[in-house]
Structure 1
Amino acid sequence: MLTVLVLCTGNSCRSVMAEALINHLGKGRYQAFSAGSHPAGYVHPGSLQTLTRHGIAFDEPYSKSWNDVLEQPFDIVITVCDEAANETCPVFLGDCKKLHWSTPDPAHVDGSASEIDAAFDQAFDMLQQRIKSELL
């Protein structure tokens, strides 16, 4: 089983969804974790609602620092910060395969409930497509 770390800045939306998706779609081939360089301290409710809406099971995710997982070796580290938004992506210096999946942060979307749901669904779909095309 390959271990995967999904990194972003806050570890509240994209990385949490990617962790759950990799564990769900990888069906035992991958064990995914997520963390952030500057954790938000909470998981955005929209992330959990999106996973639930798409039938993706998840444990009890929490926003954690990458310092909490540095002792664990990883086969793959994926960053999900959005370069188009000029986000500063964390740099992981460990010896592993590194991937970058630029994904807009749905937590920064303002608008109606349906517009916010659409932003979370868009991030979910982007992550799911990358997982299917690059990991599975």
Structure 2
Amino acid sequence: MKHYNILFLCTGNSARSILAEALATTLSSGKFIGYSAGSHPVGRVNPFAFDLAIEMGYPKDKLRSKNWDEYSLPNSPKMDFIITVCDNAANETCPIWLGNPSTAHWGFPDPASIEGTDAIKREAFQKTLLGLKKNIEALVQLPIDQLDAASLKKAIQDIHAK
């Protein structure tokens, strides 16, 4: 089976994009390899996102906050899809991506910005995780090989609109 590389972008690369990376890799039975990065990475993975990714079975050594420039280098993996998961990253000037990947924006509120008890914070992360999971499950079901570039881009964008 062909696999697809998918890069999830956010500003800080500590929560939403990390969760999406882990979900895409663990939910797709090898169809997708998830990656994540940020325009201004904070340099650490949020502990709540870290714990959720580990619970999914995502390898601990793959969980790191990184700059999106890492994926614009000639020797970096070629991305088939790039999805922004925060509104700030969607409005920033992105690097030039090699290979002309399909792009979409799936905006989610930042669970890392929630104030309160750990239980309240966990609930915010769980809500974000469930929203990302719904989108990624829909993405996995798309007949990617049967769609032309314009139809594929629309289908990926429409996933979040539902």
TM value normalised by structure 2: 0.75
**1:50–1:117: 8 Å Cα contact kept in structure 2?**
no
Give the aligned CA root-mean-square deviation in angstroms. Answer: 1.4
- Structure with greater contact order relative to length (CA < 8 Å, sep ≥ 6): 1
Cα–Cα, structure 1 residues 45 and 131, in superposed 2: closer, same or farther, change >3 Å? same
TM value normalised by structure 1: 0.88
Out of 78, 81, 84, which is 1:79 matched to?
84
> Which residue identity does 2:14 align to in structure 1?
S
Which stretches of structure 1, 4 residues or longer, exceed 3 Å deviation after superposition? 90-93
Higher helix share: 2
Matches within 5 A, 1:1-136: 1-52=3-54, 55-59=55-59, 60=61, 61-71=63-73, 72=76, 73-81=78-86, 83=87, 87-89=88-90, 90-92=92-94, 93-94=96-97, 95-136=100-141
Deviates more, 1:66-75 or 1:13-22: 66-75
State the Cα deviation string for residues 11-65 of structure 1 (Å, max 9, x = none).
100101100000001111111111001000100001012234xx30122211000
> Which residue identity does 2:56 align to in structure 1?
I
Give me the whole-angstrom Cα distance separating, in 1, the residues matched to 2:112 and 2:68.
Answer: 20
What residue ranges of structure 1 are gaps of 5+ in the alignment? none
Number of residue pairs the alignment of both structures matches: 130
Q: What fraction of aligned residue pairs are identical, expressed as a percent?
A: 33
